[in-house]
Amino acid sequence: MPDQELLSTEPATGAVLWRHPIGDADTEVAIARASWAAWAARPLAVRIEALRRFANVVRQRADAFTDLLARETGKPLWEARTEVETVIAKVDISVTSYSERTGQRRIEAPMNTRLALRHKPHGVLAVLGPYNFPAHLPNGHIVPALLAGNAVVFKPSEKTPASGAFLVECFHAAGIPEGCIRLLIGGPDQGKALASHPDIDGLLFTGSANTGIALNRQFAARPEKILALEMGGNNPILVWNTPDLYSAAVLVVQSAFTTAGQRCTAARRLIVDEKLFEPLMAELNKLIGRLIIGEPHADPQPFMGPVIDNNTADMLTESFLTLSTMGGRPLRHMERPIENRPFLTPGMVDMTEAREKVDVELFGPILQVFRKTSFEEAIAEANDTRYGLSASLVSQDPRLYDQFWANIRAGIVNWNKPTNGASSAAPFGGVGWSGNHRPSAYYAADYCAYPVVSSESEQARAAMGVGLRDA
């Protein structure tokens, strides 16, 4: 591969899908810097209309976008189609969120004075996107940022650059000024150059905790720049006091193995009542054995496709073996059904008696299982992590859910629902290593503009009643 060109390949086949010259952060930031003020000066109604045109462009190109997402990520067509639908829906959600959270309003003030609350854009915001949802997740930053009047420089993951380029093309086709949404193609070097660029006013990041922590250190001495970190999770799903073990197994499989486990909200740890362990494992093994794992366009449609590339598949396979060497007991071995391609079957390992545990996000179809004899122990196990993104309880007992909700440490807490599938109409974020208390989705408006409070009067009338000598 030429040094100055980035290639994208299809995980399922290895075929080259797309190629593009590597970009330059200085160039893209300079263009955005020169363009954002004019965009910010446009009436909000104009920006809203432009973004609704963007939604219509995506709607018109939905089939092509779906096909590209499926090919570049390896996810099934049904899941890629859902991602495109969330891109479209993001516009109206963001308009509502902007009005509710960062709109203009008057505040009560003394007579002849008005107190106004308005919001201003930051300026030029950098967006670093991930590969698992290369359209939906960066779009969740870009749309509210543009709506607030910012310009955006977007660097997609080097593993899914074609999807990022398609997204930016849709913005441009809708009439969003080209200077206000810029595409930076490249790898880690371009990402670092963009994140450290002196002329950005903030960074909106979705990705791994290690990268997010490094960015947090980098921005520690730059309080004038906004930093929103959306990172991963070592998420627990608890199964306790429930008679419907088939439904419990479905919720566990959906939580742990949708998108081949490549979701930040995926369940990484199953914590189960010792009494339910054997029958639940029987249901899980039957269900997992029925899962179709295949390429995106297969018929019938697969439940899950490959992970993103062979290096990731190799790492996950080694991680499964490492859990075993630490004292974990394999409950279902992870396999590579197609040689030299990154397809993986779901793996499960019982870590209850392991000599040590690892608090890492294994970003793939690996589920660690822990057996507990009391619900208090189960919650303690669930909280035994530096992360705090999502957690779910499967139980028929409302009192257990009340106890779970009150004591679990996570930003998304679900009951008889999967750990994943969060709504864009609600805030999305976590605590600990899962974020820096700047939740995205519905609350993205909060970090895309800053509040300005004005005390205003049409006439200057002032007097001093104390502290003056007699005239």
- Helices 77-102 and 136-148 cross at an angle (nearest 10°) of 30
Under 8 Å between Cβ of 386 and 359 = yes
Q: How many CB atoms lie within 10 A of CB 445?
A: 24
- Catalytic annotation present for 224: no
Tell me which of 28, 72, 180, 264 is the catalytic residue: 264
* 262, 315, 382, 393 from 386: Cα distances, Å: 19, 22, 11, 19
Question: What residue type is assigned to position 116 of the chain?
Answer: A
Question: Does residue 467 come out as left (phi exceeding 0), alpha (psi in the -120 to 50 range) or beta?
Answer: left
Question: What residue type is assigned to position 108 of the chain?
Answer: E
The rounded distance, in Å, linking the Cα atoms of 391 and 304 is 22
Q: Is 458 helix (H, G, I), strand (E, B) or coil?
A: coil
- Catalytic annotation present for 230: yes
**How would DSSP label each residue in 376-436?**
HHHHHHHT-SS--SEEEEE-S-HHHHHHHHHH---SEEEESS-S----TTSEE--SGGGBS
Tell me which of 10, 83, 230, 381 is the catalytic residue: 230
Half-sphere exposure of 391 (CA within 13 A, CB side): 27
Residues serving a catalytic function are 230, 264
